[in-house]
Structure 1
Amino acid sequence: MNVTLTAEDTCSPVASHAIGQDAASSVAATLKALSDPLRLRMLSAIASDPRGESCVCDLAELAEVSQPTVSHHLKVLKDVDVLTSERRGTWVWYKINPNRRRAVTTLLDSFAPATVAGPWTEDAVDEARRPDFDARVTHLADELAAEIPELDSATVLTIVRESYSALARTARVTSALIPLTERFARQRLSDLTRDRDTAVPQVLFVCVANAGRSQLAAALVNQLAGGRVIARSAGSSPADVIHPHVRSLLAEIEGDGATDRFPKPLTDDAVRAADVVITMGCGDVCPIIPGVRYDDWAVGDPALASREGVEAIRDDIAARVRTLVDNLLN
């Protein structure tokens, strides 16, 4: 009996698309070297050290182990080319291998926080499919368009729709989507209509999740500058909620105003409206806009830190913020 196989009956040649044996062995060796918790903490400390490098004496403070033990762990990371080292005097200094920096950034700022975050929900995406979705968003757009007559109503509607859809991808509480959309859309519309020549300086802080360091930096700028500098924040891949330790620190800085903060996605109009864009562990995610100054701050990630660690990160950011504000106002 002859049997004719359809496309659904045949197997796809997936093996031909798999990672090669040599590459798999190399990646596996690196992942094995990174599988120790202390090594990951040391890697994080080195990556976020403002000096761009750390010595054994610095890293020994991360755990109650001897310096020879620290040196052993660092050698393991060096053997897989994640770190490079240089002896200067008594101490050996370690830094991230430039050829691996992008991979280390992805590990520490994207993969690691995702593994310790709570489960995501699809409720917000389902919310966008509700029959009254279009009417609710259109009503909000009409209200905002009436407040900003200098913008075309179609442009306002597009901004509102995009804002809602972007927030719906990560929102946990669907009942808050419209109020959050209004706040996010208002910020975006304000950026679109900003006159760079007459407005006060504006800074945009960008990290991966917009749930920690970029939120702290924006709050600290707004507190210190008292309206003389405006700070925004955004994430290249925003989380659904702000990190709990960071939220409590924001409450200390902003009081009740901290309740208005939520992770927001990065948009081109936010970059165009900024005088200064500061990235914080998210790599080259921002579009390059003429006339905008760019900088990168290597600071620790609160998502992976203890309460005490988050406070140390805040203090580090605060020192940088003071220098930034002084530079913008003088």
Structure 2
Amino acid sequence: MNVTPTTADDTCSPVATHAIGQEAASSVAATLKALSDPLRLRMLSAIASDPRGESCVCDLAELAEVSQPTVSHHLKVLKDVDVLTSERRGTWVWYRIAPGRRRAVTALLDSFAPATVAPWSVSADDEGRRPDFDARVTRLAHELAAEVPELDSDVVLTTVRESYTALARSARVTSALVPLTERFARQRLADLTRDRDAAVPQVLFVCVANAGRSQLAAALVNTLAGGKVVARSAGSAPADVIHPHVRSILAEIEGDLAAERFPKPLTDDAVRAADVVITMGCGDVCPIIPGVRYDDWAVGDPALASREGVEAIRDDIAARVRALVDDLLP
């Protein structure tokens, strides 16, 4: 009988592990188990996307043809793992996302869920196909440097390459990377060269994925202000595409201009160029720049919301935008 000798490569050498601890793993597993029900996820999405920041149990009961006790049971499961909090007002009980779990819920609804069900996801054949765009990106940088002679060409080249790298992290289809890089880099270069004293007021809206709330707010400002206020948007962890329901509403607001919108990462130069920075559910991600006004809008999250839910969020944002524009314009 032939026996293959053991070589050094065949042996297993244990190394230090940084795996999650047993206690933390048990806690996370309990939460994920509580979330592993379609109706509970729909309830969570309805509460997160409600423009009021909370939902009444009577609203949640309409999500499925189940009895009121069944609805209450599912909500209790989510409360038991501290995902939801509740408050009784008169006859009804109102539910909202627990403050300490908002970031986790946002990540679940804004990133994980769309990635598993999104019809726009590309096939596995496209995974990892990232052609070498270095020559094209460098050529783009030279072209843009000629348009902004007030900036050093090395600054332009760095900005363009950083823009490409940032967009490539979330890109699913690489064929559009260079055109998107050009649009993103142009915006960043405009921010770098902006004369705050001579320019019209500029507002930056920031959410997590830059795929819903912040895009709607920027579109509404640009449409309502008619060029007298400029609005930008960005995400602390941008998605690869804008939510489908949001995109259709953007088309209603902006027409053909909506086709040019895409999720963009938050950059320091965007914050520095803004007169007003408005965060929308992304926490304290913006650097604090002297002279910049900061505000936070607690509006519903369009992630996995119905078309009607997104329309309600749009209306809430529109009311806030009107007040903001009135405040910024004399």
The interval holding the TM-score normalised by the smaller chain is: 0.7 to 0.9
Question: Structure 1's 102 and 164: CA in aligned 2 closer, same or farther, altered over 3 A?
Answer: closer
> Which residue of 2 is the match for residue 192 of structure 1?
192
The AA in structure 1 aligned to 2:243 is H
Q: Contact 1:128 / 1:168 at 8 angstroms: preserved in 2?
A: no
Q: Contact 1:85 / 1:92 at 8 angstroms: preserved in 2?
A: yes
Q: Contact 2:54 / 2:96 at 8 angstroms: preserved in 1?
A: yes
TM-score, structure 2 length as denominator? Answer: 0.86
Q: Contact 1:124 / 1:174 at 8 angstroms: preserved in 2?
A: no
> Which residue of 2 is the match for residue 206 of structure 1?
206
Q: Distance in 1 between matches of 2:10 and 2:282?
A: 42
Q: Contact 2:47 / 2:54 at 8 angstroms: preserved in 1?
A: yes
> Which residue of 2 is the match for residue 281 of structure 1?
281
Q: Contact 1:124 / 1:170 at 8 angstroms: preserved in 2?
A: no
Q: Which runs of 5+ in 1 are unaligned?
A: none
Question: Structure 1's 125 and 328: CA in aligned 2 closer, same or farther, altered over 3 A?
Answer: farther
Which structure has more relative contact order (CA 8 Å, sep 6+)? It is 2
Q: Which runs of 5+ in 2 are unaligned?
A: none
Q: Contact 1:203 / 1:232 at 8 angstroms: preserved in 2?
A: yes
Q: Contact 2:49 / 2:303 at 8 angstroms: preserved in 1?
A: no
> Which residue of 2 is the match for residue 93 of structure 1?
94
> Which residue of 2 is the match for residue 138 of structure 1?
138
Q: How many aligned positions are there?
A: 325
Question: Structure 1's 286 and 7: CA in aligned 2 closer, same or farther, altered over 3 A?
Answer: farther
Q: Distance in 1 between matches of 2:303 and 2:32?
A: 21
Question: Structure 1's 6 and 247: CA in aligned 2 closer, same or farther, altered over 3 A?
Answer: same
After TM superposition, give the deviation of residue 171 of structure 1 in Å. 3.3
Q: Which moved more, 1:58-67 or 1:5-14?
A: 5-14
After TM superposition, give the deviation of residue 151 of structure 1 in Å. 0.9
> Which residue of 2 is the match for residue 317 of structure 1?
317
CA RMSD of aligned residues (A): 2.8
Task: Say whether residues 1:75 and 2:76 are aligned partners.
Answer: yes
Q: Distance in 2 between matches of 1:8 and 1:287?
A: 50
SS at match of 2:139: helix
TM-score, structure 1 length as denominator? Answer: 0.86
Deviations 1:29-59 (A, max 9, x none): 2212112222222223333444443332333
After TM superposition, give the deviation of residue 8 of structure 1 in Å. 5.7
> Which residue of 2 is the match for residue 10 of structure 1?
12
The AA in structure 2 aligned to 1:323 is A
Q: Distance in 2 between matches of 1:329 and 1:177?
A: 36
After TM superposition, give the deviation of residue 190 of structure 1 in Å. 0.5
Q: Which moved more, 1:275-284 or 1:16-25?
A: 16-25
After TM superposition, give the deviation of residue 11 of structure 1 in Å. 4.4
Q: Contact 1:247 / 1:258 at 8 angstroms: preserved in 2?
A: yes
Task: Say whether residues 1:129 and 2:132 are aligned partners.
Answer: yes
> Which residue of 2 is the match for residue 235 of structure 1?
235
Q: Distance in 2 between matches of 1:212 and 1:51?
A: 16
Q: Contact 2:206 / 2:279 at 8 angstroms: preserved in 1?
A: yes
Deviations 1:145-173 (A, max 9, x none): 22212111111111111112222333344
